[in-house]
Chain A
Amino acid sequence: MKKLILILTAAVFAVSCSDNLEDLNQNIKDPTQVSGESLFASAQKQLADQITTPNVNLNNTRLWVQHWQETTYPDESNYDQATRPIPDNHWRELYRDVLRDLKEASKNITATDNDITNPLKPNKLAIIEVLNVYAWSNLVETYGNVPYTEALDIENLLPKYDDGMTIYKDLIVRLTAAINSMDTSKGSFSSDVEKIYSGDVASWKKFANTLKLRMGIILADADNATAKAAVESAVASGVFTSNADDAGYAYTAAPNGNPLNDNLVLSNRNDYVAGKTIIDIMNTLEDPRRGSFFTDVNGEYIGGVIGDQTVYSDYSHVTPSILGGDYPGWFLQYAETEFLLAEAAARGYNVGGSAESHYVAGITASFDFWGADGLAGYLANPAVVYNSGAWRESIGTQAWLALYNRTFASWLSVRRLDFPVLVEPIAAESGYPVRYPYPVSEINLNPNNYAEAASAIGGDATETRLFWDKFDNTWGF
């Protein structure tokens, strides 16, 4: 009897301790459902961060357009893109942290059925589309052919690369559709979610048109007809008309502070000085904006030799006014718009006004933005006066100046217009980079499609000009 009790006790003990196995495997600390709005908020910030950051692991465009130069460690200003895997990082940021989240945001917003928010859905989805196009266009402008139709699908681990031109035209179509679907009489996202325009649809419509204008101009050398149509319809629908329209992401403070603040102030590091190229050009023009862009060294503006190690204290530094935690991260600006319109006019597109009037408006807008005086004297300078016979040089140089601290936008401009004449870095590891090489992760993980794309664009080198970049650089390297 005693034995029996013992065995039974043990058995009961054992059985009662066996709780339901399946219930154990639930992650009770992380959500299985979230709102599309919260996904959108994250995607928008990631995109702003990636466009704005100066971090050498993520975005060296300010160095490549020779606005800035590095101090102790000049590897990136010499076009080192391997030691720090910048192409990998940029690819990942855009595909995984922006586009995937935007896609999920769109899905979740579409699936949400709520009488109060349903009327806002079309606007929300349109704004998501606009950001989608912004991100995709950046990928195409930066790498060339990229996975598009087969991308963002976890079931397809080997997405094929689509032709860059085809993608770009499709993006313009999508943008147009988004613009047409916007209803400015209704709202969209709330201001704690949408940090550029606080959800104001009218502003987003202008943004979308301005983006379309830019994309059209980018296509101009490759496909004039499509470009003309896109530019003219965008202008007709309404682009930016003043600095107040500028699209800036409203940073606040860490961890939502401007990456410039994190990298140049909070890190307590002195990694950058002014670049000699921009200082020389601005000194020659006696450009009043020098003081807004840079600090002086005993009354003078001195720029670091491109590609060289420089001693921080010997050269002009980046102005502190753009390094605050709450300084905006710029997506598109009005001054930029005027230069695009100037170029459109120079190409004979019908955008109203003349190339010269838009050119002057662009410079004016830039001076306004930076709060610089002496506009009149500057405009009178023969070196500044618009030269319609060399419009690429005129517009190229002034746009490049106005696009100070505008990362990808400034790099786009110099690649397309091939002005101003840049200087070869003293220890350049490659020719001038007109694209990012494809990421090492794609070479390893999607090798066949990568190889096809590499040959389709003419070789996976940083010097391979992309489909829209029809002309060689003027600076010979």
Chain B
Amino acid sequence: MLVLIVQLAFAQEKTISGTVADDTGLPLPGVNIIIKGTSTGTQSDFDGNYTIEAAVGQTLVYSYVGFDTQEIAVGASNKMDVTMQAGSVLDEVVVTALGISREKQSLGYSTQQVAGEDLATVKTSNFTNGLSGKVAGLQIRRNNNFGGSTNVVIRGITSLTGDNQALFVVDGVPISNLNTNNPNQKNSSAGNYYDYGNAAADINPDDIESVNVLKGAAASALYGSRAGNGVIIITTKRGKKAKGLGVTINSNAQVGFVDKSTFAEYQSNYGAGYGGEAFTSEDINGDGIDDVVANYLDDASYGPSFNGQLIYQWDSFDPASPNYRTRTPWVNSPNGAITFFETPITLTNSISISNGMEKGSYRMSYTKLDQSGLLPNSQIDRHNFIFSGNFEMSDRMTASGFANYIKTDALGRNSTGYNDNVVGNFKQWWQTNVDVQQQWDIYNSTKRNIGWNPGSSEPGASPIYWDNPYWTRYENYQNDSRSRFLGNFELNYKLADWVNITGRVATDTYNEQQEERRAVGSVPTSFGITRGNVDSGYLRRDITVTETNYDLMFNFDADISESISLAGILGTNIRRDEFNSLTNSTAGGLVVPGLYSIQNSRNSIPNSQEVAQKRGVDGVYASASLGFGNVVYLDGTIRRDDFSTLPDEESAFYYPSVSTSFVFSKLMNVNAISFGKLRLNYAKVGNGAPPDKLFDTYVINTDTGTSVPSTSNNQFLRPEFTTSYEAGIEMRFINNRVGFDFSYYKSNSEDQIVEVPIAESTGYSRKLLNAGEIENKGFEISLNATPVKTDNFSWMLMGNFTQNKSEVISLPEGVEVFELARYQGGVRINAVPGEPYGVIYGADYVYNDNGQRVVGANGKYLRTGPNEKIGDTNPDWLMGITNTLNYKNWSFSFLIDVQQGGAVFSLDQYYGQATGLYGESDYINDLGNPVRNTIENGGGFINPGVLEDGTPNTTRVDASEFGQFGYAAFPQSEFVYDASYVKLRQASLSYSMPSKFLDNTFMTGLQFTVTGSNLWIIDKNTPYADPESGLSSGNSQGYITGSLPTTQDYGFNIKAQF
């Protein structure tokens, strides 16, 4: 903001004074008032008052960021009060890199804003989920895990194995979005791991003023390497002069209901067993004669048909059971697996106080979140305290500070992956005869692990494969707590009118403690540091993460002449971060049941595992922006970063960017076109390596001795670079009633720092190399329209469309296939040259030259080897459409979120169809009989296809027992599903009390909102699951096993302002 005060004598000047206010009557401080054609001017003061010397006939120009500029001629009166109208988008200002506000029109790169209100409408424990469908180019993949991590990726995956998440910045300070999940949780499907979420989820949406997404590398060259994946800039609410006390209270309650289309729908004809109509024979009632007993050992539903016959079932074995030694009818359970889920309730309450004074402003807020989950015994509580303020110490010096303390406690996150996953149990290995209510009753009354899958019919027998699901939730649960502090302190000094200097220190530090436990008497599974098979145990992980940033910036803003403006930054950033973790566990089980402490270990305590990593980056950067007559802008930036994680010779490198924007509409005088801008940019961003990757260290084994590590590090590492180009056009028509923004981009990431899998005959599994190139190109379109706008009613439409195509251009020399993840079920996610990043490999059907499936002599399909490409995890395109209708004090909006394309492999179907849980293995066949009848009784089916010699297959396979469906008969490609969806993501209806009703009360604002979230999956192709489910955030997506169902959430919110 430039004001050069020059006194010019002018004849017949008089003193003009007045007040400048906005359209609600609130005084506006800092409004620029200039005598047109001169550089004489002033600013309105804190109460909106101003005085200026001007002559009749001169015109005063009133301008203020966010408001329409007004020009008013000086008339006879000496008093000129002005009301400013809230801004057209022309003067829209956005917060860009380093917290610098820029007029959007001057930016040569693509950005998109989301208002804080939009994010705060629907309360979740991870605000990043609220960004889905709202920003073109931003792909949000939530994983449906309770409190789980969300994958936030802008413009595709650029790094083969590194972090591809966007950088989160709060008020100019980068914060950690670390996902501390065990790497095995993310890249494999081994069970007994938990998704601990990503750290950015701590941010409270109620404290967010706005979010600006900087999409390409050019938008972020000033942040250095981490911003190469794009930046999500969060601006928190600041204090401002309030009407009334400045108090806002927000209270929200949200309730969820399981969306049945995302959970299993079982067949209702057959119960426990693998062997068709055969029951088990055992003497249960002790009379020496064998009785008919349900196949309690079998964790499948490929057993006898439900004919209501009285037999002994699992509930007849234990004396504590009401049905001890009693026969019960063999029927489909009235309380199936879906009754296991509870109703999740989320309560969010917050209070904030903000006010502005003459020399500063402040804001304080406290928010409490209480969320209970779908699974029994799950809970997340979060406290969020914020204090932010700024103060003008003198007319040159301003100080501001921000302190945010967040305490999160979580209990009972769901186990992800294959083993020991309750939801996986329900979807893959379950007996349809099990009454879940009975499981609850017996657990609740005895607190013992009496399950539906005991190892024998003896009383007190422990389960063989699966615990009582309530036992799993109430006894073998995890809990974690995180205590986090984000703070910064900034001093800004105005050296001269055209330059100011900012110094800032910021820190983001948290302690996290994770505890996992298994109770004595559980089914043994791999657990603890040694991952040996054990029934009980306790594990504890203590993690500390700290990031500190020191910034010193010189900010220039001058006008070289009347039409040429120059702004620039010269700065340095020093960043230090640290990661420490300590893991301890018991081994061999617990000595004292129910006591979860490390000393309670039956075997000697295994070696603790310690990790300590430090990293530092020293950066120097400069940027210059030239503006020509507010029509053409030219920006250049250059940054030099020195990484501690690279070898000394290669540790520092430069990366530049250039961008230009041309507001061509200002040169045209077409009425219909209110705004038009062309923009182009080029940027190069470099990236260093993760810590400790230069030299090899040995591994101290948890069992015996030491070993050479499996990955060979590389002391000659070089930085990796992403080069990107972007071109875009933004236009608005008919007084901003319609507008669009189109961007096309191409980015290439080269010299990737990659741990490449290598032939293990080298004695290693992986080698760290600089190699590989990934290309991403695509386009984004966002559309805004206000088809109807009257005084009382408006209808706004906003749409986003994203298409990103990635391609692995090359891999390190000698590597033909790069395995990103290997999952249970024989499926791999690979990066292959010429293919998009993240393709699914597994076995496929064998096809003959006519494209027909080939069947073997036994009537079962032939299957290829495990190395066929069977799916592509990347979507073809993404789209989100929001409609907002406003009528007087009412506002209604809904968002439809669409993904087209992408593929997921469902382990649930791979196993569940084989174990006879679903209708795929229970239907009426071509002869009009149940397919599970024996061949003699007209059952079975014929696989459509041909034999190897080309003749049609006529062999009827006998499906009366396990073995003809699911993994037992079909290749993995059969279980790869299209992940497309159309979802009614969000809908909300709000009512703001008109001010006339509030005038007599102490309230200055009152608003009621009703919201719905994930209301309706209008279309999807993944059976019995939500296509967005997954294991974790991270680079391996496209795999579903035992993920939680999606809930339809309904919420009610009251916001009151005083």
Binding site for B on A (CB under 8 A): 3, 6-7, 10-11, 13-14, 17-19, 21-35, 38-43, 45, 72, 82-83, 85, 88, 91-92, 95-97, 99-101, 103-104, 146-147, 151-154, 156-159, 193, 253-257, 262-263, 266-270, 309, 311-313, 427, 439-447
Find chain A residues with CB under 8 A from B30 CB.
none
List, sorted by A's number, 14 A–B pairs whose CB atoms are closer than 8 Å.
A21-B644, A27-B613, A41-B704, A72-B274, A95-B762, A96-B765, A101-B707, A146-B761, A154-B763, A254-B588, A268-B524, A445-B759, A445-B814, A447-B816
Question: B275 is contacted by which of A7, A309, A440, A443 (Cβ under 8 Å)?
Answer: A309
A386 to B968, CA, bound (A): 45
Interface residues of B in 559-588 (CB under 8 A from A): 572, 574, 576, 587-588
A276 to B695, CA, bound (A): 54
> Do B707 and A42 touch (CB < 8 A)?
yes
> Do B572 and A262 touch (CB < 8 A)?
no
A29 to B708, CA, bound (A): 15
A25 to B815, CA, bound (A): 29
> Do A440 and B867 touch (CB < 8 A)?
yes
Excluding A13-B505, A100-B708, A262-B533, 9 further A-B contacts by CB distance (< 8 Å) are: A6-B501, A13-B552, A18-B574, A41-B704, A43-B705, A159-B762, A255-B703, A311-B297, A445-B758
A254 to B533, CA, bound (A): 9
- Chain A proximity of B366: nearest CB distance (Å): 32
Please tell me the size bucket of the interface on B: 35 or more
> Do A31 and B692 touch (CB < 8 A)?
no
> Do A95 and B616 touch (CB < 8 A)?
no
Question: Knowing A18-B574, A31-B700, A253-B588 touch, does A95 contact B814 (C-beta < 8 A)?
Answer: no
Find chain A residues with CB under 8 A from B703 CB.
42, 45, 255-256
Interface residues of B in 362-410 (CB under 8 A from A): none
> Do A266 and B759 touch (CB < 8 A)?
no
Asked if B495 CB lies within 8 Å of chain A CBs, one says yes
Asked if B104 CB lies within 8 Å of chain A CBs, one says no
> Do B865 and A17 touch (CB < 8 A)?
no
Asked if B200 CB lies within 8 Å of chain A CBs, one says no
Asked if B645 CB lies within 8 Å of chain A CBs, one says yes
> Do B762 and A444 touch (CB < 8 A)?
no
Asked if B848 CB lies within 8 Å of chain A CBs, one says no
Question: B761 is contacted by which of A21, A427, A442 (Cβ under 8 Å)?
Answer: A442
> Do A27 and B697 touch (CB < 8 A)?
yes
> Do B763 and A95 touch (CB < 8 A)?
yes
Interface residues of B in 612-665 (CB under 8 A from A): 612-616, 618, 642-645, 648, 651
Residue in chain A with minimal CB distance to B828 = A440
Residue in chain B with minimal CB distance to A444 = B817
Question: Knowing A40-B705, A268-B464 touch, does A95 contact B761 (C-beta < 8 A)?
Answer: yes
> Do B587 and A255 touch (CB < 8 A)?
yes
> Do A82 and B574 touch (CB < 8 A)?
no
> Do A22 and B764 touch (CB < 8 A)?
no
- Chain B proximity of A36: nearest CB distance (Å): 10
> Do A154 and B767 touch (CB < 8 A)?
yes
> Do A7 and B501 touch (CB < 8 A)?
yes
> Do A254 and B764 touch (CB < 8 A)?
no
Residue in chain A with minimal CB distance to B609 = A29
Asked if B938 CB lies within 8 Å of chain A CBs, one says no
Question: B464 is contacted by which of A146, A154, A159, A269 (Cβ under 8 Å)?
Answer: A269
A97 to B337, CA, bound (A): 43
Question: Knowing A253-B603, A254-B587, A442-B759 touch, does A42 contact B701 (C-beta < 8 A)?
Answer: yes
- Chain B proximity of A98: nearest CB distance (Å): 10
Question: B493 is contacted by which of A6, A23, A103 (Cβ under 8 Å)?
Answer: A6
> Lowest 9 A-B CB distances belong to which pairs?
A42-B705, A100-B763, A41-B705, A30-B697, A147-B761, A446-B759, A24-B644, A27-B692, A255-B530
- Chain A proximity of B843: nearest CB distance (Å): 7
A26 to B645, CA, bound (A): 9
Question: B612 is contacted by which of A3, A28, A41 (Cβ under 8 Å)?
Answer: A28
A236 to B694, CA, bound (A): 52
Residue in chain A with minimal CB distance to B550 = A17
- Chain B proximity of A89: nearest CB distance (Å): 10
> Do B866 and A82 touch (CB < 8 A)?
yes
Question: Knowing A42-B707, A309-B274, A444-B817 touch, does A267 contact B524 (C-beta < 8 A)?
Answer: yes
> Do B495 and A3 touch (CB < 8 A)?
yes
A312 to B454, CA, bound (A): 13
> Do B763 and A24 touch (CB < 8 A)?
no
Residue in chain B with minimal CB distance to A440 = B866
- Chain A proximity of B757: nearest CB distance (Å): 6
Q: Which of B694, B701, B865, B867 has the most CB of A within 10 A?
A: B701
Question: B700 is contacted by which of A30, A95, A104 (Cβ under 8 Å)?
Answer: A30
> Do A10 and B501 touch (CB < 8 A)?
yes
- Chain B proximity of A202: nearest CB distance (Å): 24
Asked if B149 CB lies within 8 Å of chain A CBs, one says no
Find chain B residues with CB under 8 A from A263 CB.
533
Question: Knowing A45-B705, A72-B274, A255-B703 touch, does A24 contact B615 (C-beta < 8 A)?
Answer: yes
Residue in chain B with minimal CB distance to A46 = B707
Find chain B residues with CB under 8 A from A22 CB.
644, 648, 651
Residue in chain B with minimal CB distance to A313 = B456
- Chain B proximity of A429: nearest CB distance (Å): 10
Residue in chain A with minimal CB distance to B645 = A25
> Do B700 and A151 touch (CB < 8 A)?
no
Digitize B478-500: 1 where CB-to-A-CB distance is under 8 Å, 0 elsewhere.
00000000000001010100000
Residue in chain B with minimal CB distance to A160 = B761
Find chain A residues with CB under 8 A from B999 CB.
none
Interface residues of B in 532-576 (CB under 8 A from A): 532-535, 550, 552, 572, 574, 576
Interface residues of B in 251-302 (CB under 8 A from A): 274-275, 280, 297-298
Asked if B606 CB lies within 8 Å of chain A CBs, one says yes
> Do A14 and B574 touch (CB < 8 A)?
yes
Residue in chain A with minimal CB distance to B817 = A444
> Do A25 and B524 touch (CB < 8 A)?
no
Question: Knowing A10-B503, A42-B705, A268-B462 touch, does A157 contact B758 (C-beta < 8 A)?
Answer: yes
Question: Knowing A38-B705, A101-B708, A445-B815 touch, does A10 contact B552 (C-beta < 8 A)?
Answer: yes
Find chain B residues with CB under 8 A from A42 CB.
701, 703-707
Residue in chain B with minimal CB distance to A104 = B708
> Do B757 and A255 touch (CB < 8 A)?
no
> Do B763 and A152 touch (CB < 8 A)?
yes
> Do B698 and A34 touch (CB < 8 A)?
yes
Find chain B residues with CB under 8 A from A13 CB.
503, 505, 550, 552
Asked if B610 CB lies within 8 Å of chain A CBs, one says yes
Question: Knowing A39-B706, A96-B765 touch, does A21 contact B606 (C-beta < 8 A)?
Answer: no
Asked if B826 CB lies within 8 Å of chain A CBs, one says yes
A19 to B550, CA, bound (A): 12
> Do A14 and B552 touch (CB < 8 A)?
yes
A423 to B240, CA, bound (A): 86
A23 to B644, CA, bound (A): 8
Question: Knowing A153-B762, A255-B587 touch, does A441 contact B501 (C-beta < 8 A)?
Answer: no
Question: B762 is contacted by which of A6, A19, A151, A270 (Cβ under 8 Å)?
Answer: A151
- Chain B proximity of A118: nearest CB distance (Å): 22
Find chain B residues with CB under 8 A from A34 CB.
698, 700, 706
Question: Knowing A21-B644, A29-B610, A45-B705 touch, does A267 contact B550 (C-beta < 8 A)?
Answer: no
Interface residues of B in 692-743 (CB under 8 A from A): 692, 694-708, 710, 712
Asked if B523 CB lies within 8 Å of chain A CBs, one says yes
A96 to B700, CA, bound (A): 15
Find chain B residues with CB under 8 A from A40 CB.
705
A254 to B532, CA, bound (A): 7
Find chain A residues with CB under 8 A from B274 CB.
72, 309
Find chain B residues with CB under 8 A from A97 CB.
707
Residue in chain A with minimal CB distance to B275 = A309
Question: Knowing A29-B610, A444-B867 touch, does A157 contact B767 (C-beta < 8 A)?
Answer: yes
Residue in chain B with minimal CB distance to A27 = B692
Asked if B6 CB lies within 8 Å of chain A CBs, one says no
Q: Which of B280, B610, B704 has the most CB of A within 10 A?
A: B704
Find chain A residues with CB under 8 A from B758 CB.
157, 445
A458 to B428, CA, bound (A): 41
